[in-house]
Amino acid sequence: MAKVTEETPHEKWQMKRDAANAERNVNADQLSDNQRKALMDAFIAIRNVDYSFHEMFMADVSDMLAIDKAEYKLRSEFPQLTEEAVSDMTCTCED
């Protein structure tokens, strides 16, 4: 007779996490090459500026340029998301 073992809470969490990650990966595979590149560039820009803040406690011009470029690419590749993201932003510019 085979012994049935109960999954631990950690094992249940891992299985749930792995299933969610698999679904995310399938969704990511549906992106266009330009969308994937825009996301990768944004991810790299964020990681680099985060590193600058942690190591030097400041960002430099190269960080600013990378963020500007990444934001432009995201805006171009994901117009609907951009509209949703900026619709709640408060304008601080002078009219």
- Which pLDDT score, from 0 to 100, does residue 50 have? 95
- Distance (Å, rounded) from C-alpha 86 to C-alpha 49? 22
* pTM for the predicted model, two decimal places: 0.72
- Which pLDDT score, from 0 to 100, does residue 71 have? 94
Nearest to 59, CA basis, from 92, 68, 91, 85: 68
Query: How open is the CA angle 88-72-50, to the nearest 5 degrees?
Result: 80
- Distance (Å, rounded) from C-alpha 26 to C-alpha 2? 35
- Distance (Å, rounded) from C-alpha 59 to C-alpha 87? 27
* Average pLDDT along the chain, 95 residues, taken 10 residues at a time: 82 96 95 96 96 92 95 94 83 67
The number of beta carbons lying within 10 Å of the beta carbon of residue 58 is 9
